[in-house]
Amino acid sequence: MRIWGGGVSDSITVRTASKEDADSIARVSVRTWRATYRGMLPDDFLDHFGDDIESRTQRWRARLPERGPNFTLVAASDLEGVIGFASGGPDRQDPTFREIYALYVLPACHGQGVGRRLVRAMAWALARRGAAPLRVWVLSANPSRGFYERLGGRAEGVRIRDIGGAEVEETAYQWASIDALVSSPVVNRCNR
């Protein structure tokens, strides 16, 4: 099912993930973690993150298509297939919120509007499940966290979490209303 499309010249579609997307989602996850979190998480952890891509793919395949309040969207290019994904649902700590659990876009597609498109489609889909404030947790050391600020997210708190054997700080970005995120996005083709 197509959730969000762009203009006539646009080659990117955001849609609900299916079982056939499991391998692509697993590969996007591994590539973006290794590229994005280098220097923020232990090298040994990142070097081995995704070593067993098949088991990661099987976990996604068992989970998709999701039923109930949790769901995953993919951004797919006509030429390159799945280039990014987002998952979300009810906030895992506060049921009065909605949460974006994950948002990953291949590094070659950063700065092209793919992440913005995924966030807006996720906000639209979450709003259809009941309006609520929206939250996403981001590594505080991640220089790309300004992305959420440019979308109107406000830093509203921090927490410490163990990832790969390191205690890291995460910042919560929140939107009191997700309506502002649900406007028509523009996306360019990826630069490879």
Question: What pLDDT score was predicted for residue 51?
Answer: 85
Residue 160, burial from CB neighbour count under 10 angstroms (0-12, 13-18, 19+)? exposed
Give the number of other Cβ atoms within 10 Å of residue 171's Cβ.
Answer: 19
CA distance 86 to 72: 6
Q: Are 82 and 75 in contact (CB under 8 A)?
A: yes
pTM score of the predicted model: 0.87
For β-strands 166-175 and 154-163, DSSP reports them as antiparallel
Q: Is CATH 3.40.50.300 the right assignment for the domain spanning 2-131? A: no
Question: What pLDDT score was predicted for residue 187?
Answer: 39
Q: Which of 2-11, 86-95, 163-172 has the lowest mean pLDDT?
A: 2-11
pLDDT at 4 over 50: no
Listed by start position, the domains of the chain span 2-131
| Phi, psi angles (nearest 5°) of residue 163 | -130, 120
Question: What pLDDT score was predicted for residue 183?
Answer: 56
Q: Which residue has the higher pLDDT, 86 or 127?
A: 86
